[in-house]
Amino acid sequence: MVSTFVLLLTTLVVIGVLKILSVLHHAYFYWRNKGLPYLPNSISSFITVWKVFAGYIPLADYCQYIYRSFPNAKYVGGVDFFTPAIFLRDPELIRDIMVKDFEHFPDHRIFVDESVEPLFGKNVFSLRGDRWKDMRTTLSPSFTASKMKFMFDLISKCSHDFVNYLVDHPELCQEVDTKAAFRRYTNDVIATAAFGISVNSMKDRNNEFYTRGIEATTFTSGLLTLVKFIFLRVCPRLAKLIGLSFFPSATSKFFKKIVGETIREREIQDIVRPDMIHLLMQARDKEGASVPKMTLDDIVSQAFIFFFAGFDTSSTLMCFAAHELAVNQDVQDRLREEILQHLTKGNDEISYESLSKMSYMDMVISEALRKYPPFVLIDRLCVKEYELPPSQPGSKKVIVKPNNTLMFPVYAIHRDPKYFPNPDKFDPERFSEENKDNILPYSYLPFGHGPRKCIGNRFALMETKILIAHLLQKFTLKTVEKTVEPVVHYKAEFSLAPDGGFWIGLEKRET
Q: Which of 229-238, 311-320, 435-444, 486-495 has the lowest mean pLDDT?
A: 229-238
In the 8-state DSSP scheme, what is residue 89? -
Q: Which of 153-157, 272-276, 325-329 has the lowest mean pLDDT?
A: 272-276
Q: What is the pLDDT of residue 225?
A: 62
CB 455 within 8 A of CB 124: yes
Q: Classify the phi-psi angles of 348: left when phi > 0, otherwise alpha if psi is within -120 to 50, otherwise beta.
A: left
User: Which band of pLDDT confidence, cut at 50, 70 and 90, is reported for residue 220?
Assistant: very low
First to last CA, the chain: 84
- Cβ neighbourhood burial of 354 (10 Å; 0-12, 13-18, 19+): middle
Q: What is the mean pLDDT of residues 173-179?
A: 95
Q: What is the mean pLDDT of residues 180-186?
A: 94
Q: What is the mean pLDDT of residues 233-251?
A: 69
Q: What is the mean pLDDT of residues 285-305?
A: 75
In b/e form, how buried is each residue of 31-59, taking b as 16+ CB within 10 angstroms?
beeebbbbbebeeeeeeebeebbbbebbb
pTM for the whole structure:
0.89
pLDDT at position 6 over 80: no
What are the DSSP calls for 254-281, one per residue? HHHHHHHHHHHHHHHHT----SHHHHHH
pLDDT at position 169 over 90: yes
Q: What is the pLDDT of residue 69?
A: 87
Q: Which residue has the higher pLDDT, 348 or 81?
A: 348
Report the DSSP beta bridge partners of residue 498: 489
Beta strands in 82-158 (DSSP E): 83-88
Sorted by sequence, the CB contacts under 8 Å of residue 234 that are 6+ apart come out as 82
Binding residues are 454
Sorted by sequence, the CB contacts under 8 Å of residue 90 that are 6+ apart come out as 74, 75
Sign of CA dihedral 104, 134, 153, 160: negative
CB 427 within 8 A of CB 327: no
Cα–Cα separations (whole angstroms), residue 90 to 143, 394, 477: 30, 17, 38
Q: What is the mean pLDDT of residues 401-407?
A: 91
Distance CA 110, CA 121 (A): 8
User: Which band of pLDDT confidence, cut at 50, 70 and 90, is reported for residue 183?
Assistant: very high
Q: What is the mean pLDDT of residues 169-179?
A: 95
Distance CA 290, CA 296 (A): 19
pLDDT in tens, 427-485: 999 999 999 999 999 999 999 999 999 988 999 999 999 999 999 999 999 999 999 99
Q: What is the pLDDT of residue 384?
A: 96
Q: What is the mean pLDDT of residues 296-313?
A: 84
3-class SS of residue 386? strand
Q: What is the mean pLDDT of residues 178-187?
A: 94
Binding residues for heme are 454
Q: What is the mean pLDDT of residues 152-170?
A: 94
Q: Which residue has the higher pLDDT, 202 or 125?
A: 202
pLDDT in tens, 53-92: 667 788 888 889 889 988 999 999 877 766 778 999 999 9
Mean pLDDT of the chain: 85
